[in-house]
Amino acid sequence: MLKLSTATANLTIFSLRTGHPVGVALRPLINPSNLKIEAWFAQSNFDNGLLLLPTSEIREIGHQGIAVNDKEAITPAEDLVRLEPVIRLDFQLLGRKVYTQSKQFLGKVSDYATDMESFYIQRFYVTPSVFKQLTSDQRVISRLQIIEITDKKIIVKDATLPVATGFFTRPAPVAEG
């Protein structure tokens, strides 16, 4: 199931062991190399510091929040050695500028949709600048259209239109009878 970014921030984290809230998942930690949510930056009801909730610790995400086994699922960042490079990058998708491969500016990412089973971002929504909003609408871009993600921008494939490859024919007349 796809969820918009607004539905994946500030979620209450519940312990399945106690049935009580143990913290809050603030915002996702996105790996820019594959657009996967690796974890959520989190606040714990029991610990302080830079904490994360790795996606591997999540048992279920519902409309009430995130279910984990217990409070230990919320982990100090220094314990997540594999995620250290991604944590240091602190990649933010929202607000990122989007260009086509022919260098046409499309706008900025205003939202994105994530598959909540695989945690991969499947599409993002690009809103043009205020001036261009008068002549064009928000664009939906699939992850398959991405060519490159840099520190400053996202480059996507140019839009192409299919080329006609034959003659148009009229339908044969119907004999009356």
User: What pLDDT score was predicted for residue 14?
Assistant: 97
> Which residue type does 160 have?
T
What residue ranges of the chain are covered by domains with CATH 2.30.30.240? 7-89, 97-156
Question: Tell me, which fold does domain 7-89 have in CATH?
Answer: SH3 type barrels. (2.30.30)
User: What pLDDT score was predicted for residue 64?
Assistant: 86
Q: Taking the chain (177 residues) in consecutive chunks of 10 residues, what is each chunk's mean pLDDT?
A: 89 95 96 96 93 96 92 96 95 95 94 95 90 68 94 87 50 52
User: What pLDDT score was predicted for residue 174?
Assistant: 54
Residues 91, 93, 96: CA angle, nearest 5 degrees = 105
Question: Tell me, which fold does domain 97-156 have in CATH?
Answer: SH3 type barrels. (2.30.30)
User: What pLDDT score was predicted for residue 129?
Assistant: 76
> Which pTM does this prediction carry?
0.82
